Structure 1
Amino acid sequence: MTLSEQTQQGLSTPADQSTATQTEVVNFYSFTLPDLEAFLKKYGKEKFRAQQIFKWVYEQRVTDFDQMLNLSKDLRSELKNLITFKLPPVLKHLISVDGTQKFLFDVRDGNSIEAVVIPSDDRLTLCVSSEIGCNMACQFCFTGKQKLKRRLTADEIVGQFMVVQDSLDKEGKGRKLSNIVFMGMGEPLDNSDNVFKAIEVIHSPWGVNLSKKKITVSTSGLIPEMYKVAEAKVRLAVSLNGWSDEVRSQVMPINKKYPLKDLLDECRRYYRATGEKITMEYVLLKGVTDQIDHARALVKLLRDVPCKINIIPFNEHPGSGFERPSDETVQAFHQETMKLGAQVLLRRTMGRDIFAACGQLTTKNVERPETMDISNSKIGGTNVRSFSRG
């Protein structure tokens, strides 16, 4: 009996395909290497074939079974009926004046997500989304204005990476994504099964082969799931944004359930397990989190937490109710934290003119301008290149 005949008779496919119909094919990008080995072995095929296929797809970017010549002709014919290489289509591609690129992806049923490529001198970082919408409702985040519609599947997460890298390859400049951060739409740890499955593919030598030191998972503080970041041995970033429970609960409702003491205790546990410092992301909101006494309280709060502080000036979006502090206020906050001995980085705002900066991502169906005039900012200019597809 062939693989396709057995599948049509209702024999199971990998666990994450439990919602698939009997005639539905499996998306290759949902497979880890052990998944594909088990899939093939179940039907009497050699496990090593999985490594061959992974090499074709991730190393050589061949997704046509007819071109995988070290597979038998019969196996190639059977697999074509069982496995698809579908990637999320790009609806729009915007390029900022600072080189940041934003991709709007179609993820079925009228839903869309955004992912962002952030260039710097020594790296090219992809910020991926993990959900359509978000249940965390952080007040400074545009994604948080949307209720969660759906958690992305592992293939939709891996697919963002593959589409963007393919796009870079087509430029012919030899640029490769060097880092990936789970800081786009959604709370990654609210979709931990699919996020860490995608990380396994992205890290695996048979997959994308990206070092775990180049992978960062950001969380708003979903404490029961944070141990998984340590288990995966990837970097942890925490969206902190408050020096007290009162302030943090005001801007991040999750703090009412998981207060600062518990969150920081979990951060210490992560450090003990990994030896890696945590990145504390701190958004400066005018009059709310940006004053000198706030800087002092923040450094005091984190004095015994092995971390570095990432200062992020608020990025505007419609209906936020918050304002971006002046450049002078931002610099004063930065200087005060450094003077107090904190390891701190003032994050350069990237992609703000195309709503691609931290806290600005959303779906195509939410009212938001496509571009913003930032001619009076340090970034300067408003020339935005836009590409619509399909």
Structure 2
Amino acid sequence: MFNAYENDTSANEPKYIETTTPEGKVNFYSMTLEDLKAFLKGKGKEQFRAQQIFKWVYEQRVTDVEKMSNLSKSFRQEIPDILSFDLPPVLKHLKSIDGTQKFLFDVKGGNSVEAVLIPSDDRLTLCISSEVGCNMACKFCFTGKQKLKRRLTTEEIVGQFMQVHDRLEPGQRISNIVFMGMGEPLDNPEAVFKSIEVLHSPWGMMLSRRKITVSTSGLVPQIKLVADAKVRLAVSLNGSNDEIRSRVMPINKKYPLKQLLDACREYTRVTKDRITFEYVLLKGVTDQMEHAREVVQLLKGIPSKINIIPFNEHPGSGYERPSDEQIEKFHTELIKLGAHVLLRRTMGRDIYAACGQLTTVKDRPETMDISNSKIGGTNERHFGSGQPRL
């Protein structure tokens, strides 16, 4: 019942194994409420105890079982032998000049992942990782240079949220989560969607499904799972035609634009939600005016908004960030064409916490000089011709 992925050195793909500690305990954060009910029933305990424990841990943030006063003394003595409340340790915590925070988590076996807390005027968004490395090999992404080592478990995903939550200042609350960190979320669907259930649950962290976004590079068959989970969908487009997209995103060779956009249309039909299309501006590759026109034609008839993301540099990328003038020109062209468009503010770039910069490869840089760019230095959000904000 309680499973996770682990790297199998005898095969190309990670395999599924049971998630338990060496002592045979099950990690509490790996379970939904129904999982815990079934687990306790198997131990001969009343199922309502699951709700009591969930309330202590998620609402009260109490993991010391001796403080769980509505549980019997004998049951409190048993809990440490069957349940673990361990969270992935924070190895490093960096803060950007713009308020963005990056956390490096230890996920055992010499592996680590990064998560990013992004502040804005009306929300506090946590960007969560789902894998150590990534198999998608997107050319503009630092994570893409780090081959997949293993997929994260449910408790490691939920654990990122809880560790950051526990470090918030008084009065702060994580309002949104986006699965846009390291890894392809739809390449690890069981753990990702199970973690969403935990974080959404009224017995868990009570996050609205509409405040949860799952991003994909284009795993077409799994897009249905996002609709089934009733959460938001973001798609990394990053190419205005198949030739360009296949060059920068190898997944397009398997699932070309027609298949991807057909799946997107079906998502909007079923959910009645808009899709966010992420579009990275690469100098001389995706930032020309003809590309803007092609993008608008591609997305015609799909309820959506376009997030323009100026490329965020990292060592060995082979790509450059367009000039601020070219970024503004591209943005203006999309608006003129009637697109609902947002020029995303670049956050955390100075600590390698911006979109496409997350990695845990050896000798990764920790800081960079961003004084040469104005784009991303303001808190403005730019929307197209009279379109409503989402």
TM-score using structure 2 length:
0.92
Q: Tell me the distance in 1 between the aligned counterparts of 2:299 and 2:336.
A: 15
Q: Residue 376 in 1 paired to residue 364 in 2? A: no
Contact 2:20 2:27 (C-alpha < 8 Å) held by counterparts = no
Letter in 1 for 2:285: V
Aligned to 1:4: none
Q: Tell me the distance in 2 between the aligned counterparts of 1:100 and 1:19.
A: 32
1:153-204 alpha-carbon deviations (Å, 9 max, x no partner): 0000000000001011xx33x1110000000000000000000000000100
Shift in Å, 1:14: 3.4
Aligned to 2:217: 220
Shift in Å, 1:21: 6.7
Determine helix, strand or coil for the equivalent of 1:103: strand
Aligned to 2:144: 144
Q: Tell me the distance in 2 between the aligned counterparts of 1:193 and 1:15.
A: 9
1:256-288 alpha-carbon deviations (Å, 9 max, x no partner): 000000000000110111000100000000000
Once structures 1 and 2 are overlaid, which stretch shifts more, 36-45 or 155-164? 36-45
Q: Tell me the distance in 2 between the aligned counterparts of 1:21 and 1:110.
A: 17
Shift in Å, 1:377: 1.9
Q: Tell me the distance in 2 between the aligned counterparts of 1:14 and 1:93.
A: 30
Letter in 2 for 1:14: F
Shift in Å, 1:20: 3.6
Contact 1:230 1:270 (C-alpha < 8 Å) held by counterparts = yes
Count of residue correspondences: 365
Q: Tell me the distance in 1 between the aligned counterparts of 2:92 and 2:48.
A: 39
Q: Tell me the distance in 2 between the aligned counterparts of 1:367 and 1:344.
A: 36
Aligned to 1:211: 208
Aligned to 1:162: 162
Determine helix, strand or coil for the equivalent of 2:315: coil
Shift in Å, 1:376: 1.8
Where do 4+ consecutive residues of structure 1 move more than 3 Å?
Answer: 13-17, 19-23
Aligned to 1:321: 318
Q: 1:248 aligns with which of 245, 258, 263?
A: 245
TM-score using structure 1 length:
0.92
Aligned to 1:25: 25
Letter in 1 for 2:370: I
Contact 1:14 1:39 (C-alpha < 8 Å) held by counterparts = no
Q: Tell me the distance in 1 between the aligned counterparts of 2:21 and 2:183.
A: 27
Aligned to 2:387: none
- 1:111-126 matches, within 5 Å, as 111-126=111-126
Aligned to 1:14: 2
Contact 1:223 1:258 (C-alpha < 8 Å) held by counterparts = yes
Contact 2:155 2:195 (C-alpha < 8 Å) held by counterparts = yes
Letter in 1 for 2:67: Q
Shift in Å, 1:113: 0.5
Aligned to 1:307: 304
Q: Tell me the distance in 2 between the aligned counterparts of 1:237 and 1:21.
A: 35
Q: Tell me the distance in 1 between the aligned counterparts of 2:294 and 2:120.
A: 31
C-alpha RMSD of the superposition: 1.4
Q: Tell me the distance in 2 between the aligned counterparts of 1:84 and 1:327.
A: 50
Aligned to 1:388: none
Determine helix, strand or coil for the equivalent of 2:309: strand
Shift in Å, 1:239: 0.3
Determine helix, strand or coil for the equivalent of 2:162: helix
Aligned to 1:79: 79
Q: 2:255 aligns with which of 255, 258, 261?
A: 258
Contact 2:3 2:19 (C-alpha < 8 Å) held by counterparts = no
Q: 1:332 aligns with which of 329, 332, 344?
A: 329
Determine helix, strand or coil for the equivalent of 1:167: coil
Letter in 1 for 2:260: L
Determine helix, strand or coil for the equivalent of 1:141: coil
Q: 2:194 aligns with which of 192, 197, 215?
A: 197
Shift in Å, 1:224: 1.2
Q: Tell me the distance in 1 between the aligned counterparts of 2:335 and 2:373.
A: 24
Shift in Å, 1:44: 2.0
Q: Tell me the distance in 2 between the aligned counterparts of 1:103 and 1:298.
A: 34
Shift in Å, 1:15: 4.8
Contact 1:117 1:125 (C-alpha < 8 Å) held by counterparts = yes
1:220-257 alpha-carbon deviations (Å, 9 max, x no partner): 00011111000000000000001100000000000000
Letter in 1 for 2:2: P
Q: Tell me the distance in 1 between the aligned counterparts of 2:152 and 2:47.
A: 28
Q: Tell me the distance in 2 between the aligned counterparts of 1:22 and 1:326.
A: 53
Once structures 1 and 2 are overlaid, which stretch shifts more, 144-153 or 39-48? 39-48
User: Where in structure 2 are there 5+ consecutive unaligned residues?
Assistant: 5-16, 378-390
- 1:331-350 matches, within 5 Å, as 331-350=328-347
Shift in Å, 1:325: 0.3
Q: 2:288 aligns with which of 282, 287, 291?
A: 291
Q: Tell me the distance in 1 between the aligned counterparts of 2:30 and 2:20.
A: 13
Determine helix, strand or coil for the equivalent of 2:167: helix
Letter in 1 for 2:238: N
User: Where in structure 1 are there 5+ consecutive unaligned residues?
Assistant: 1-12, 381-390
